[in-house]
Amino acid sequence: MRLNDSEIQKDIYNLILNPNTREWERQALLKVKDRRKEVSFSTQLDAFKSDLRPLALRHSLTPDVMDFYLKVSGEPQPDSSSKVLLHDKVDPPHQERAIFAGGCFWCMVSPFDKRPGIIAVISGYTGGEFDNPNYDQVVGQYTGHVEAVEILFDNRLMTYQELVDIYWQLIDPTDNMGQIDDRGESYRPVIFVNSDEQRQIAEHSRQAVIDSEVYSKPIVVEISDATRFWPAENFHQDFYKKNPSRYRKIERTRHLYLFLQHSKNAMHQLFTKSKA
């Protein structure tokens, strides 16, 4: 599909003005905007793609610039803006929201997204002190936010209790400084509750995990009142669909870690009971 030059130029202007664009990215965009008269727009755009390709392959671009790079490179990338718009809409009857943090939000979408009654799973940032945080700020641990998912669900088909039960299967509840390969406070596990009922369910569920004595270390998952949830950039939404091969590698690593942890804890439990 041929790109619309006017649309691409508009995207370039917006990215130049975007405060989240890094300075060296902005300079690369300015080269395209302020191209020499003897150089065609398409030629300059090709040079831009060539300059950014090594960084794009390593996912080292800011999310909005990455989206633009994929667009001009012709790589199909779903637009998740319609899903994100649901975040700002008033919940209709029988719709509720749940917010969970459990490490990188890339891995927290698919396990919920495929369940009955799930309306949308939105990746984002919450629990911090500043408005409109971006990915670099959150990962850099400058704002106090954690990566999280907001789940919009139909409570006639899916209960909050069921969502909490799924959540415990996805995380290491003994690690409050990250999850698996994702380290730092922005990846700590937290259940953010939207009501007294959700808090009661979450606290009862956490106590059940503690009482089960499945884990040899203390359970450190926080239960906090929900604060403003900021949807993440388009690039981070539905990551498992947009980057299936990379997602599968990350997913395998998490599954292996959790399997080994559960096996180790099961052996510990058996040994403890045998001594009793």
Burial (Cβ within 10 Å: 0-12, 13-18, ≥19) of residue 113: middle
Share of the chain above pLDDT 90, in %: 65
pTM of the model: 0.86
Q: List residues with catalytic annotation.
A: 104
Report DSSP letters for 118-157, one per residue: EEEEEEEEES-SSSS--HHHHHTTSS--EEEEEEEEETTT
In the chain, the amino acid numbered 200 is Q
Q: How high is the mean pLDDT of the chain?
A: 90
CA distance 213 to 217: 9
pLDDT tens, position by position, 103-152: 999 999 999 998 999 999 999 999 998 999 999 999 999 999 999 999 99
Query: What Å distances lie between residue 128 and 194, 197, 209, CA to CA?
Result: 16, 23, 27
CA distance 162 to 160: 5
Domains parsed from the chain with CATH numbers: 5-73 (no CATH), 81-239 (3.30.1060.10)
